[in-house]
């Protein structure tokens, strides 16, 4: 994959030097507040390898986000197919998502990178729609969705099939979306 550059970030494939950060964001209680699981180091390493392979194969995915000025990896921001949730979304659906280490929250990195990924999805991949979803109570994530121009679509809210029944407060997910036409108008207006 050719890295995607923003004003402050480089969005790239995962490298060996990212393993500690990747494990940290997948095991941190604050980062994973709205997930029913935490990943140990071995599982994190396997997951990072899966992400790296997917990105190498298809040219996009949950990519590492690096601060260009320092080289520090801060988490991931990217696009991913929703194939892991068959029956819930139409074939070919692509979602945008993110996960950052807490010390990088509130600095606008996610919105900056997400806008670059929306450009990529609509202009390079030719997508008609990009979606996102989060636990209904996850206001930090839904606020980012709104900042980048996504629109809530309550008729498409759903109970996540991957969330076990013993975590009922994490099952309901709010659904957001943006179409290529909406994104194009938003960019032209700004």
Bridge partners of residue 99, in order along the sequence:
76
- Rounded-to-integer distance, Cα 54 and Cα 13, Å: 9
pLDDT tens-place string over residues 32-79 = 999 999 999 999 999 999 999 999 999 999 999 999 999 999 999 999
Largest CA distance in the chain: 46
Q: Report DSSP state, residue 124.
A: I
SS3 content of the chain, % helix, strand, coil (to 5): 40, 25, 35
Stated pTM of the model: 0.94
pLDDT at 1: 82
pLDDT at 84: 79
**Does the pLDDT at position 86 exceed 80?**
no
Q: How confident is the model at residue 85 (pLDDT cuts 50, 70, 90)?
A: confident
pLDDT tens-place string over residues 88-107 = 899 999 999 999 999 999 99
Taken in order of first residue, the domains within the chain and their CATH numbers are: 4-189 (3.40.630.30)
């Amino acid at each position: 994959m050719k890295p995607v550059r923003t004003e402050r970030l480089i969005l790239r494939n995962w490298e060996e030097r990212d393993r500690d950060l990747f494990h940290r964001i997948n095991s941190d209680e604050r980062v994973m507040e709205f997930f029913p699981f935490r990943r140990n180091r071995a599982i994190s390493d396997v997951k990072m390898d899966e992400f790296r392979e997917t990105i190498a194969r298809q040219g996009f995915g949950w990519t590492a986000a690096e601060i260009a000025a320092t080289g520090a990896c801060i988490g991931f921001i990217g696009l991913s197919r929703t194939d892991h949730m068959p029956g819930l979304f139409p074939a070919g659906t692509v979602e945008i998502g993110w996960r950052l280490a807490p010390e990088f929250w509130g600095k606008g990195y996610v919105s900056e990178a997400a806008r670059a990924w929306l450009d990529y999805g609509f202009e390079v991949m030719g997508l008609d729609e990009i979606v996102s979803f989060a636990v209904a109570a996850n206001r930090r994530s839904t606020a980012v969705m709104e900042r980048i121009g996504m629109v809530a679509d309550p008729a498409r809210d759903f109970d996540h099939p991957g969330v076990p029944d013993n975590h009922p407060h994490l099952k309901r997910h709010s659904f957001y979306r943006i179409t290529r036409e909406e994104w194009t108008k938003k960019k032209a207006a700004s």
